[in-house]
Structure 1
Amino acid sequence: MSLSGMVLLHPQQAANIIILFGTVAIIQLIVSFAIDDENLSYNGRQIYPYVSVMLVIFWLWTEGLDKISGNLRKPLVNLLASGREPGGNVRSAAPSLEAAGGSTEEIFIKLFLIGFIYSVLAALLMGASLTEVFKDSSNRLYKQGERIAFSSSSLNFLVIYLTAGFIAIVGLFFVYILADQSRQYFRHYSFMMVIVTVLGSLALAQILKIVSRNISRRRVTTAVSILFIVFLLFSVPIIHISPYLYQESEHVPESQMKGFETAFNHQEEGVQFVFIRSTTSRYHDAIIGERKRIDYTGAGNVPYHFSEEGDLRSQYEEETYLVVTNRDRTRDRDLHRGVRYTREDYEHFDNGKGINRIQDNGGFTLYRITPPPE
């Protein structure tokens, strides 16, 4: 039931689970029917019936949802299309990050350092376990008389299962990277890190077990405690979006919601909304829903650094609403340091010709732009 529930809650993560468990099922079948080695005998429960049921539910659920099936097909379409450059979104964001005072190296350290350390530990355990699989049973890896890699025990079978499943998911992850689907491949990365965390912890336990033979247990425990405190100090700041990552908080103040609600309720028919960063359509879906549909054709962001080009109203041919929130002002002025919109751009809203402030509650400001006479 839990596997079926995952299909309904998050089909993309359900696809990761299907790949993981599907790989495990294949290994179980190989071990049960193809390998004649008593050290590799397996008497556990086969999971392929459960995987098969989950796969059927996944297919039935996603087949009728165009958005989900489209998201699954899009990476393959982009991968086969010419002109796609892997990492294009990252390269396009690098100049903005540098202009805001950061760097890709800094962001990598903040976001991925701990994960990278665990990945190295997990890779060591994966490599040792895979090496053991392909060795002769009489030539296995031992350390001071104790087997530390793959054996017929349930724990080491688990390592092999997770290793094989991880390799399969990595293949899907790289498909998304090569297809330049930046909004998607980090979802697969997060699932991969679940496996890495488990295997990295097992590898760390093995290393500590070996080290404790030559160093007192008290010293090892102290060193591990300090290590995890350092890991925690690096990990906590990235749990939530914050200026530490050069991103604003996702918190939406009540004044902003109330401002959008008032604007929607008093919107003149046929007048479009444009915005700085706070996408109007998302607030409409949250506040109005299906009760009143708004045509957003042509609506979008105000042009970047528009004040350098002169009059903002010359950008529009018809009457237009302009939404500006305090989050927008703080984000551009203090966090992003004018990468997209400068202080002069915001001053233009109050000083420019043909731009009239028609609503302001302290956290939300609505302007009406009147195009210049022909």
Structure 2
Amino acid sequence: MTTNISQPQDGVRSIPAGIWALGFVSMLMDISSEMIHALLPVYMVTVLGTSALAVGIIEGVAEATASITKVFSGALSDWLGKRKVLAVIGYGLAALTKPIFPLAPTVGWLVAARFIDRVGKGIRGAPRDALVADIAPPHLRGASFGLRQSLDTIGAFLGPLLAIGLMWLTADHFQAVFWVAVIPAFLAVVLLIVAVKEPKRAEGLRRVRMPLHRDELGRLGATYWWVVVIASVFTLARFSEAFLVLRAQSDGLPFMLIPAILVVMNIAYALSAYPAGALSDRMNRVAVLAIGLLLLIAADVLLALVPGIAGLIAGVVLWGLHMGFTQGLFATLIADAVPPELRGTGFGMFNLVTGVALLLASVIAGILWDMVGLQGTFLVGAAFSLLALIGLTLLRDRLRNASG
């Protein structure tokens, strides 16, 4: 696995156009989705009379569906030897669901739309990441994943901001905002079809007949599974950002300003993801990832022990920076570790395992919050981060021995 590459770098301008296009596709779809998701729970409860419990169940089932679907779509992309067609299907399904949200007369329609939307996310996720790995030159792989992650995250905070502005302009007309959200979703699909060219399959590349067979999963290699285990432990530390919102609420931040916490976090995330990825192309990737883990430990300690708005903002900024230094890097390490013909399967399994870990992390965090308070939640998060950091040193030694 490549972790230290000394080839000359030409900066962001050298990243292939296909990576830029995939980044903008992700950004547009995220703008659309977040415009809807930022308002959907409130819309379901206040307009359609849905209970909060029902909202929670719907969201949980939707995200679980996306995680499970990613495994099969990634494996299918390896079996077909094609990535783009599955990405188009996934983004297309998500776009087709968007008009349902303003038209839905009942909660049942919204549930169906949310479910299909998450199926679309699951279908596109692993093939898209594998496509990034296929298009990116090896010496720009970290920068390429970082750029896609930065653009994706820009969409994650532009969407809610647009929703807030449109709700003000339309005097809280939910359906009008939902209709505007349809536009970037369809633009994303058009851009994907027109601007992203899938590279030709390399001659002599092994055909994969049963990607999820035990033998094929074994071909992913021990290094890959080390990365998955470390990422899972790390995911136990970075529980749902909902707990950042609860920390803000505990400090007495006005309800109107609480969403700004996630905006600040995503800005820090977006600004750091590309530089972190580019840095990993110039030095050891594991070292850059270790910086991300240290940033999370610092964030958790601040959020646990420094009360008030100053501690909150500093912790949230560090939380966003740790995301920028880790999310694209884990994807890059996966791309480095797995054989090219199994990249879809590798990303699919990675997403499934870390998705389950994120669900477990949020449950653990909730229990700790109720039993011992916010300090216990964030300090346990720091402890999990420390465990992941220890695992990372073992991975570094393994890679060093393998290269030696």
Normalised TM-score (structure 2): 0.20
Instruction: Report the TM-score, using the length of structure 1 for normalisation.
Output: 0.21
* Larger helix percent: 2
Higher RCO by CA contacts (8 Å cutoff, separation 6 or greater): 2
